[in-house]
Amino acid sequence: MNYEDIKRHFENNPPPKEVRWTEWAKITNTEIFLRSCYIGITNFNGPMDRCPAWWHLRDFYLLMRKNVLQNAGEETAAVPVHEESAGKNVYEETIAEGHFQTEPAAV
C-alpha cells in the first residue's frame, strides 16, 4: 500500500472526527491530521520509508483497518477478538502484529 492508495481510501471512507490512538494520544480532528500527513509526505526530501509523516499515516490507516475488522468480528463472533492477547501491553501487541521489525545487534 502506498501513499496514494491510503489517501484514496480515506477520501472514500472518512474516519471519525476524533480518534483515541493510544492511551496517551488522541486525535481531535482527523481531517487536519490527515492533511498534515499528506503535506509532510509531499514535502519530504528523501526515501519514503524515512518520512515520519508516512509512518504516522500508515499506522493510522492500520489502526482504522484494525478497528473496522474488530467491529465486524464482534458482530459475527461471540468470543472477543483479543482474548489471546489479554494481559499484554500495547508495545507487546504492536511487536506481535509485526509493526516493528528488529534486526540482530552488531557484534
pLDDT digits (tens, 9 = 90+) for 6-65: 999 999 999 999 998 888 889 999 999 999 999 999 999 999 999 999 999 999 999 999
The CA distance from 74 to 80, in Å, is: 7
The CA distance from 63 to 30, in Å, is: 13
Split into its structural domains, the chain has a count of 1
Task: Specify the pTM.
Answer: 0.65
52-76 vs 30-43: helix crossing angle, rounded to 10: 140
66-89 per-position pLDDT tens digit:
888 877 766 544 444 444 444 444
Is the pLDDT reported for residue 105 higher than 90?
Answer: no
Place of cell 476524533: 18
Is residue 105 one of the residues assigned to a domain?
Answer: no
For residue 78, the enclosing domain spans: 3-96
pLDDT of residue 41: 95
3-12 vs 52-76: helix crossing angle, rounded to 10: 50
Is residue 107 one of the residues assigned to a domain?
Answer: no
Is residue 104 one of the residues assigned to a domain?
Answer: no
Is residue 63 one of the residues assigned to a domain?
Answer: yes
Is residue 85 one of the residues assigned to a domain?
Answer: yes
DSSP lists the bridge partners of residue 63 as none
Is residue 102 one of the residues assigned to a domain?
Answer: no
Is residue 88 one of the residues assigned to a domain?
Answer: yes
